A and B are shown apart, each in its own frame.
Chain A
Amino acid sequence: MGNVVVSALRIQDLTKFYGRQAGIVGLDLDVSAGEVFGFLGPNGSGKTTTIRLLLGLISPTRGRAVALGHDVVADGPRARALMGYLPGDLATYDRMRGHQFLAYLGHLRGGVAPARYRELAERLNVDLDRHLRELSKGNRQKIGVIQAFMHDPPLLVLDEPTTGLDPLVQEQFAELVRETVARGATVFLSSHVLSEVENLADRVGILNEGHLLLVDSVDGLRERAPRRIEMDFPATPPDALTAADGVTSIRTRGATAYCLVRGGIGPLLKTAVDHGVVDVHTHDPDLEDVFREYTAGGSR
């Protein structure tokens, strides 16, 4: 018997119109329990609309979403009890001190042990005794990270969470996400840059102008990505390279051929070897290229 795959988040035909303007249209998506799903799209593509729908902050025009068995509209508070939410620019009650703020949110969640958020604060190196208005944007965002993780939610909904965090803290944040997933949590992570999610996500969906264009594993996306290969020949590179399977374009300069290949590079290498290739340099596929290809003509 194989693994039983269970949806932690099941989204069906989720649609939101603001007047005539579409926020998100007919979104169908299943995120499995224990998965990190990267939700990618340029600004204004519907990421935040989707996330605010999941949290019940706005109500759908049609369609539904079920989080860990709880309909986010009909059973909102219970669905949200299982979620941790972090927006990119967290607004806080700035007259409160960090620990008061976290205690208040913890209270509304039914109680969170102070030891838990103090431990996270120590780890992220943020002072909980300061008033929130005195904190830098980055430190306030750390408070946001703490409130999203402190109750060990089985589903994390993160909307461009690392905006405003410096690279070191971004790495700590990624570590926190990995630990949480190792514990069995599911993560729904939005971003407008692929590099932010590719190291964390199992699968990514690419969203543009309210439509989900593509869902694939990060590896699958790499397959789709054109790979750059440079090959040195004893003399002018042979024309036969152009005919090899998967080659999308070739430029030559002197004895070197610069190729773009989609899918496997086997056929090209075989042809190259047959023509006495001297040296081969390959480069990692650039996922940003795939992302750009799918979202070209977007609002960016």
Chain B
Amino acid sequence: MSVTTETVNFYNKEATNAEEQIALLKQQILQLQQNIKSKTVDASLDPDLQTLFTENTKLKHRLTILQRAISNLSHSSPAPRDSTRMQNIQEILAEVFSQAIASACPDITDPPVVITLGNNPKFGDYQCNSAMQIANIYKQLGKKITPRDVANKILENVAPHEVIEKLGVAGPGFINVYVSKSFGLRNISTVFSHGVRAPEGTKSRIVVDFSSPNIAKEMHVGHLRSTIIGESICRLLEFLGHDVLRINHVGDWGTQFGMLIAHLQDKFPDYLERSPPISDLQSFYKESKKRFDEDEDFKKRAYSCVVKLQSFDPDYTKAWQLICDVSRKEFQVIYDRLDIKLIERGESFYQTRMLEVVKELEEGGYLEEDEGRKVMWGDKTASSIPFTVVKSDGGYTYDTSDLATIKQRIQEEKADWIIYVTDAGQATHFQILFQCARRTGLLTDKIRVDHVPFGVVLGEDKKKFKTRSGDTVRLIDLLEEGLKRALDKLKEKNRDEVLSPEELQRAQESVAYGCIKYSDLSHNRNHEYVFSFDKMLEDKGNTAVYLLYAYTRIKSIARTANFDEAKIEELANNHSISLDHEKEWKLTKVLLRFPEELIKVTKDLCLHHLCEYVYEIATTFTEFYDSCYCVEKDSSGDVVKVNHGRILLTEATARVMKKCFDILGLKPVSRM
């Protein structure tokens, strides 16, 4: 059998092909093995694989982004709380619930977050009452969910927080919050480690304009209210760490100075050499006013004096200075007695600035002609009235000077917040002032302005506060009477027998000035206020006398147990406040509200909130003291047992109260 060459060739070819195939396969296997070793796969080989690779890259990328977002969130939200001061529990709860509500109701934008103080301890210390409102919103959106279901959903979303002991849903949908005792203990203990400190906040530059009497006129009860309220607002804001500028915007400029100077020149021709002995500036004013009204020549001379004064003629300036000084001295007596601090910056300060502001308003096109006057509208649409910036005779008005003043306060003083404390009658004036300042772009939304108005002072007859003869009551006389009444009260209680004369005098002043201030502050300032020494000096109810007594009593407890300041410090280091008794915890919870009570006052600048709070401390303390012995004595009066935790609670109470007194301007005495 012969095999043809063709066949041989054919098989040879087959064999070569096969060999090539084998070589190729070998190479591929090798490649694959290497890939497995080095863990690299050439994705371009397989489109499916390529897609999966891309998908994988994307997922990895997304994962990194998500993880970073999560870690950013968890780092940023719970800012480490300051452990050197009491925390504002209500604020913390508002944050916690705001987050919980946002996650529980993602479909509602800007859901309401309502946290209130519980008024019945059975239903928790605080309540979140948002569920009812949210259910209502859902109803409007066409979803039917009961408030209770909403409340339960919120509850599920509340992140655990050290403040919260437990939560519960009650009634139609209230969420009751119980404050954690351990948190409360830590929080209240800061008053020993760091003193009673204000809650944290950003520091603002604040101008408070208060008191502001008129030169050459008597200060009256209206000024008294402004002075007392303004002083307390300043004290509160200073305590909160703000940079407060207390301004006494006295009325030291105007046409009345013409007649006063003219009269001065007639009565004391040698005024430039010798200080004129004006003892009663008020009658001096009345005399000159009388001449001004009746004597045409005098009137003319008075006007020329004004012109001279306004052109800063030295002799006239001197006369003006002398008159101001007399007034200033009189005012200072009252400020000293009431412990008021103010920087005098009267209307005269703004003379040149008024020229400027008028020029600017003119250039800005804000002024309109009106029967010879130049007026500026704050808001033309409303049934408003305009500011008279320039009178028809070219003179300026209060409106002008207030515009110059607010400009100075914003631009030169860099104020973030301006507060004017005046009677309620000026509300419209300030409304227009703020509108005008906004129109010119001077006042922006970054600057807070408040007119803090107060109601008129009435006599016990509910009529305008006057003396029996119908004259305005002089403030100095009023203070004198207060002192007398206070002494009477002390004597009535036979305190004069117990106290040394010095102690008695301190108690007398503390009670007299304290009650005048406290009675003013403890009433809602927006209302009319009946001035009554009898009521002020009552020793029951929410009065200065009651609080001062209460404080003295609290302070005396530690004293009885022979604890002085140093010993209390030591005690605070080794013991903690006792919170086991229900009344102990109740008192502590009242004290823990200190930060939120202060913040509440900054919102509406109504100091009666703070007065009510101190009063609540005092009454809660009484409750506590009635059921919890702090110091036990035997029949001979010797101390048998001291409950250290309660002594500390007593001390904490005293410290918080003292801080409130400071703000309210009360000066407690250790014995009375």
Q: Do A and B bind each other?
A: no
Q: A: which residues have CB within 8 A of B?
A: none
